[in-house]
Amino acid sequence: MAKQSYRFTKISSKKKKRKIILDRRELIRLPQHSAKQRLSFLLGKFLHLALAMLLLFHIAVLAGASTCSLMYSFLNPPVTSFLLYRMTNNWYLPRKAEYIPLCKIPDHVQSMFIRLEDANFYKHNGIDIEAMQYAYSVNKKYGQIVLGGSTITQQLARTLFLVPNKNYLRKYTEVLIALTMDFILSKQRILELYLNSIEWGEGVYGIGAAAWYHFNKPFIKLDYDHICRLAAIIVNPLRYNVKNMWSNPVVRFRYAIIYNRY
């Protein structure tokens, strides 16, 4: 009897261990889902990840633009992303720059560039919706990016923080930065930074450097004809300069319009 009792106890203990193992397996067994449920779960996870990345992107852009705009409200940019891009991709070493304060740039010169590049400069908040809509319709018509519809603020944002590659992601980033800059910086400061950062040749940035590079004289000694030539070639300053600009009918016509109208 003692041996049978011992054997029964041993068998029952083995059954209990097997039952415990089976119970544990049941606990860790994943529920069975249909293919549709699994796909919905994965799409939900992907959507959450995409929204998180989108939020981080906006935070990074706005935080960076806000910080730099606050600094540039009283400091001149020591370097720009556009300048670095030209150095690394085109090997254009920057020439000696001469920063010209806005107070030393005549009003008619300021007005000339505003009317040429952004007629609603003092009216909009950094972006011109109508100009962007027109540019979008033209680009859609031709199947490629022909016009950008950028304001002076957007052009400055691109020069300071972005690169000249044409795509809609860069355009959207440009809009975010332009809105931030217009909120923090005054219109006068934006115009001053713009005129001192425009590309006017290989490694030539700003109207002060352009005066020395194209005419070998300081900005204050430029006459009206000189200014009109500089304004005419900014459409493509790497191809045209103040001497060979007459070979292109579009640039020549642009100069005539500027000289006679502005």
Kindly state the tokens that stand for 124.
């909009």
Q: Which residue has the higher pLDDT, 23 or 175?
A: 175
Question: Given pLDDT bands bounded at 50, 70 and 90, which one contains residue 250?
Answer: confident
Which segments of the chain does DSSP mark as H helices, in order? 2-28, 35-72, 81-89, 107-117, 129-142, 152-161, 168-184, 187-195, 207-215, 224-233, 249-261
At which residue do the structure tokens 């089976």 appear?
22
Q: Cα separation of 231 and 116, whole Å?
A: 8
At which residue do the structure tokens 């995409």 appear?
50
Is the distance from CB of 213 to CB of 201 less than 8 angstroms? yes
Which residue, 101, 115, 125, 118, is CA-closest to 188? 101
Which segments of 76-200 does DSSP mark as H helices, in order? 81-89, 107-117, 129-142, 152-161, 168-184, 187-195
pLDDT of residue 175: 93
* Chain segment 126-154, per-residue pLDDT in tens: 998 887 777 677 667 666 554 567 899 99
What mean pLDDT, rounded, does the chain reach?
85
Q: Which residue has the higher pLDDT, 171 or 192?
A: 192
Q: Cα separation of 136 and 149, whole Å?
A: 8
Q: Cα separation of 46 and 223, whole Å?
A: 60
Question: Given pLDDT bands bounded at 50, 70 and 90, which one contains residue 26?
Answer: low
Kindly state the tokens that stand for 34.
């249909």
Entry pTM: 0.80
Is the distance from CB of 240 to CB of 228 less than 8 angstroms? no
Q: Calculate the alpha carbon distances from 57 to 8, 61, 131 in Å.
A: 69, 6, 26
pLDDT of residue 35: 72
At which residue do the structure tokens 């800059």 appear?
181
Would you say residue 204 has pLDDT above 80?
Answer: yes
Report the share of the chain in percent with pLDDT over 70. Answer: 83
Q: Cα separation of 175 and 157, whole Å?
A: 8
At which residue do the structure tokens 């040429």 appear?
116
Which residue, 173, 217, 179, 185, is CA-closest to 81? 173
Which residue, 90, 99, 126, 95, is CA-closest to 197? 99
Tell me, what amino acid is at 245? M
